[in-house]
């Protein structure tokens, strides 16, 4: 029996993780569930999965749940709920399914508590790549990818000698604005960006998919997960999201992992690794015909992708600043304070002002994250006032 804490149990990845647990009650048990504020869904999850603890980060929502809940699950409130869940002695694995830099501290705490990490929260690895991977090595902890592209690469790399691998090829759906004309992109709104063609995900990652910031974050995530340098990581647009990613060997052979776009598959593989269990979902059926297309990204129209490579190569605090400024810009887009074109402007402006340096602790990354958020907020205000 694998016992699992889910950070962000009420979100897209969190609910799908619970569906995998629901399909294999003999193999998995949810021992901790944490949400930001969605206490109605959390309460249903508590009733169904009976975790040892449940956490609500938002203090007001915590107060409401605490007052009305009567059962045996321990209810913990505030930011520390994430760390309590990620270090719970009864948990062997932690699925990090919160959004953004909120995942940094609980993920590090989970690693120090020697939990297996099922990593969905890519922003943590982007912001703190060197610190997180070193801590994982020092503690003998596995970081198993949940992101579909990284799960695909992870599966393709199994049994290969990495010295025989020429490059990683990450596929990108291209997001909601893939067909948009260059001249229309700048003024695209949140509604335009949220119409994702293939994946049904949380709002933040759906916006990131439209801007290709998500693919940029994934390039940096791949660098840290697989220890490949940026000159050996490629991105190709593949609108159908059937080929989840590939590796190219040095003799030119390409290995790919395919499947329908359903996150339960990579989530379950992280949970069962190195075993395979059956999974009830619509499986890929070649006899129905399959039309797969691949094309180069539109680098100039979606400049975040090139910026991610630059920032990744630069290293130090740059990826943390890239991530934090983008988070603020995405929330401003969702609030309709700025448009598509402003996101790149805000992030690149904040990066230009950043002081160089190499992080030696999570605290330093968090301080830089806070600085970048403040700078991004100022930039957003300047633009939304125009
Ligand atoms: P959602 O917005 O759907 O869900 C986020 C979850 O985290 C919710 O349970 C939310 O609670 C909770 N949460 C958000 N902020 C905080 C916080 N500050 N403290 C505690 N809990 C918080 O996001 P997704 O599931 O789409 O994404 C989660 C992560 O997985 C992201 O890092 C994303 O990049 C990554 N990912 C997602 C994929 C997908 O298909 N969705 C694919 C690959 C990676 P509440 O419901 O109360 O707001
Ligand atoms: Mg992905």
Chain segment 163-191, per-residue pLDDT in tens: 999 999 999 999 999 999 999 999 999 99
Pocket test for ligand 1, best of 12, 45, 54 (most atoms within 8 A of CB): 12
The CATH class of 2-146 is alpha beta
The answer to whether 149 touches 171, Cβ cutoff 8 Å, is yes
**Cα 47 to middle of ligand 2, angstroms:** 31
The answer to whether 118 touches 268, Cβ cutoff 8 Å, is no
Specify the residue with its C-alpha closest to ligand 1, atom 48.
36
CB-CB neighbours of 353 under 10 Å: 11
pLDDT value at residue 199: 80
The answer to whether 132 touches 105, Cβ cutoff 8 Å, is no
Give me Rg for the CA atoms of the chain. 20
**Cα 203 to middle of ligand 1, angstroms:** 9
Going by C-alpha positions, the residue among 114, 112, 119 that lies closest to residue 8 is 119
- What is the rounded distance in angstroms from the CA atom of residue 126 to the CA atom of residue 60? 31
Query: Domain 315-386: which topology?
Result: Rna Polymerase Sigma Factor; Chain: A (1.10.1740)
Cα dist. 107→48, 84, 364 in Å? Answer: 26, 11, 16
Q: Which ligand does the CA of 83 lie closest to?
A: 1
Give the list of residues 6+ apart from residue 380 with CB closer than 8 angstroms, or none.
328, 329, 332, 337, 338, 342, 346
- What is the rounded distance in angstroms from the CA atom of residue 85 to the CA atom of residue 143? 17
Specify the residue with its C-alpha closest to ligand 1, atom 20.
36
Q: Is 8 in the pocket of ligand 1 (CB under 6 A)?
A: yes
**Cα 98 to middle of ligand 1, angstroms:** 4
Chain segment 218-236, per-residue pLDDT in tens: 999 999 999 999 999 999 9
Cα dist. 340→182, 218, 268 in Å? Answer: 12, 20, 34
Q: Is 57 in the pocket of ligand 1 (CB under 6 A)?
A: yes
pLDDT value at residue 103: 97
CATH 3.40.50.720 maps onto the chain at 2-146
pLDDT value at residue 13: 98
The answer to whether 154 touches 227, Cβ cutoff 8 Å, is no
- In the block, residue with structure tokens 């992708």: 305
CB-CB neighbours of 277 under 10 Å: 13
- Where the chain has pLDDT below 50, the residues are none
Chain segment 18-49, per-residue pLDDT in tens: 999 999 999 999 999 999 999 999 999 999 99
- In the block, residue with structure tokens 């690469």: 153
**Residue 147 in tokens:** 């992101």
CATH 1.10.1740.10 maps onto the chain at 315-386
**Cα 124 to middle of ligand 1, angstroms:** 12
The answer to whether 260 touches 281, Cβ cutoff 8 Å, is yes
């Amino acid at each position: 029996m694998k016992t699992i804490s889910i950070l962000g149990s009420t979100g897209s990845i969190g609910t799908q993780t619970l569906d995998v647990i629901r399909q294999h009650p003999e193999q998995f048990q949810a021992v901790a569930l944490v949400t930001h504020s969605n206490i109605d869904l959390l309460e249903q999850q508590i009733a169904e999965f009976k975790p040892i603890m449940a956490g609500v980060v938002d203090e007001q929502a915590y107060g409401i749940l605490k007052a009305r809940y009567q059962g045996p699950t321990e209810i913990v409130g505030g930011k520390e709920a994430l760390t309590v869940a990620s270090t719970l002695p009864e948990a062997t694995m932690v699925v990090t399914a919160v959004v953004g830099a909120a995942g940094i501290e609980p993920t590090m705490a989970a690693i120090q508590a020697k939990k297996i990490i099922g990593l969905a929260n890519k922003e943590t690895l982007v912001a703190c790549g060197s610190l997180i991977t070193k801590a994982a090595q020092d503690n003998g902890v596995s970081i198993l990818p949940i992101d579909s592209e990284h799960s695909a690469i992870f599966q393709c790399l199994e049994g290969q000698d990495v010295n025989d691998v020429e490059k990683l090829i990450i596929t990108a759906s291209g997001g909601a604005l893939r067909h948009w004309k260059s001249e229309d992109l700048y003024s695209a709104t949140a509604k335009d960006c949220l119409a994702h063609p293939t994946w049904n995900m949380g709002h933040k990652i759906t916006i990131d998919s439209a801007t290709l910031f998500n693919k940029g974050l994934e390039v940096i995530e791949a660098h840290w997960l697989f220890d490949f340098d940026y000159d050996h990581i490629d991105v190709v647009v593949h609108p159908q999201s059937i080929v989840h990613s590939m590796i190219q060997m040095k003799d030119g052979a390409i290995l790919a992992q395919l499947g329908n776009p359903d996150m339960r598959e990579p989530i379950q593989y992280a949970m069962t690794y190195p075993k395979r269990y059956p999974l009830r979902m619509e499986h890929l059926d070649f006899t129905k015909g399959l039309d797969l297309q691949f094309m180069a990204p539109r680098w100039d129209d979606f400049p975040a992708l090139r910026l991610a490579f630059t920032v990744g190569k630069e290293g130090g605090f740059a990826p943390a600043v890239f991530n934090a400024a983008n988070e603020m810009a995405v929330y401003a887009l969702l609030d309709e304070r700025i448009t598509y074109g402003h996101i790149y402007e805000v992030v690149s402006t904040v990066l230009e002002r950043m002081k160089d340096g190499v992080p030696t602790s999570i605290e330093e990354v968090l301080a830089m994250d806070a600085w970048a958020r403040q700078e991004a907020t100022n930039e957003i205000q300047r633009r939304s006032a125009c």
